[in-house]
């Protein structure tokens, strides 16, 4: 165990090896050292290893049936490290978890985000679809959406959104921020502002917050309102109310009195 720890420390300090290869070599070396130590210890105390063959076979079958998940996670961990589909420092999304891969252990992978660290079983990274935001590019896309009133000119809104993202420090100038008209909603037109960051390990929420604050300031400066859901209530007369027009009139009068008392005017 001491020699395995020393060897792992030397491997991790090496600059000529890939990070995944370092982990693979350290795991294999520790496993081989433990196996050799066990066999040598049994031989030194005079135990014939051939006697343990039958017992080892039965034990292996039992362990294989009872520890299928552990064995699957263990093998999946080596597959992940060898095929380099997920590397240390990558930003991934698996199931409902999104974060930075900080560790790849024997049974699980540690995914770190703003809420803490999530231990994702290695089998899940092999058997399920995994979105690797850093697979071919270290730059990660950050986007936020906002609605604007239909009275605002879409071309002006798109220009203001791009202008709002120019002063955000972590957004990359190349590729620069871009704005899109997404859809025509019930209450307003929905837009998306997107950009790229080169340091996803520091999180995306701070950049999204800065983008939202910049959009708010730009909209206020140019008088663009962000719509909110509105509902219209109609009070029908005698025909629709089945002869209860008197009650409707009393309700309307009471509403008018309340509006007058509050200093407003009833619609």
Mean pLDDT of 71-94: 81
What average pLDDT does the chain have?
A: 80
Across the chain, which distance is largest between two alpha carbons, in Å? 106
**All structural domains of the chain:** 2-66 (no CATH), 140-221 (3.30.70.100)
Give 252's strand partners. Answer: none
Most confident listed range (47-56, 168-177, 223-232): 168-177
Q: CA-to-CA distance for 29 and 71, rounded, in angstroms?
A: 18
Cα–Cα distance, 80 to 106 (Å, whole number): 11
Asked whether the predicted pLDDT for residue 50 surpasses 70, the reply is: no
Give the number of other CB atoms < 10 A from CB of residue 193: 25
Q: Is the pLDDT assigned to residue 241 strictly greater than 60? A: no
Q: Which of 12-16, 97-101, 253-257, 260-264 has the lowest mean pLDDT?
A: 260-264
Inter-residue contact 177 to 195 (CB < 8 Å)? yes
pLDDT at 89 over 50: yes
| Average pLDDT estimate for 139-153 | 89
Q: Which two structure tokens, joined as six digits, stand for 98?
A: 């999104």
CB 130 within 8 A of CB 120: no
pLDDT > 70: percent of the chain? 82
**Residue 239 confidence (pLDDT):** 47
User: Mean pLDDT throughout 115-130?
Assistant: 84
Identify the three-state secondary structure at position 36: helix
Nearest to 144 by CA among 95, 179, 104, 93: 179
Report d(CA 181, CA 158) in Å as an integer.
8
User: What are 29-49's pLDDT values in tens digits?
Assistant: 888 888 888 878 877 887 766
Gyration radius of the chain's alpha carbons: 32
Q: How high is the pLDDT of residue 266?
A: 47
Q: How confident is the model at residue 181 (pLDDT cuts 50, 70, 90)?
A: very high
In the chain, pLDDT over 90 holds for what percent of residues? 17
pLDDT at residue 53, rounded to an integer: 66
Q: Is the pLDDT of residue 186 over 90?
A: no
């Amino acid at each position: 165990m001491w020699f395995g720890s020393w060897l792992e420390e030397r491997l991790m300090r090496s600059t000529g090896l890939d990070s995944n290869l370092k982990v693979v070599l350290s795991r294999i070396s520790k496993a081989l050292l433990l196996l050799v130590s066990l066999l040598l210890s049994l031989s030194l105390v005079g135990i014939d290893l051939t006697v343990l063959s039958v017992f080892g076979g039965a034990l292996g079958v039992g362990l294989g049936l009872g520890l299928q998940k552990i064995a699957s996670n263990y093998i999946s961990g080596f597959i992940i490290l060898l095929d380099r589909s997920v590397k240390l420092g990558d930003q991934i999304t698996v199931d409902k978890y999104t974060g930075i891969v900080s560790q790849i252990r024997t049974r699980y992978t540690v995914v770190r985000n703003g809420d803490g660290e999530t231990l994702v079983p290695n089998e899940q990274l092999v058997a399920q679809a995994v979105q690797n935001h850093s697979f071919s590019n270290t730059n990660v896309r950050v986007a936020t959406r906002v609605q604007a009133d239909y009275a605002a000119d879409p071309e002006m809104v798109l220009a203001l959104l791009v202008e709002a993202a120019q002063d955000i420090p972590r957004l990359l100038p190349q590729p620069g921020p871009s704005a899109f008209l997404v859809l025509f909603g019930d209450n307003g037109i929905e837009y998306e502002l997107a950009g790229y960051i080169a340091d996803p390990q520091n999180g995306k929420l701070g950049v999204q917050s800065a983008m939202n604050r910049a959009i708010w300031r730009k909209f206020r400066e140019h008088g663009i309102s962000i719509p909110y859901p509105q509902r219209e209530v109609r009070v029908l007369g005698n025909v629709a109310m089945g002869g209860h027009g008197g009650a409707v009139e009393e309700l309307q009068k009471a509403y008018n009195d309340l509006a007058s008392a509050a200093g407003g005017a009833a619609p």
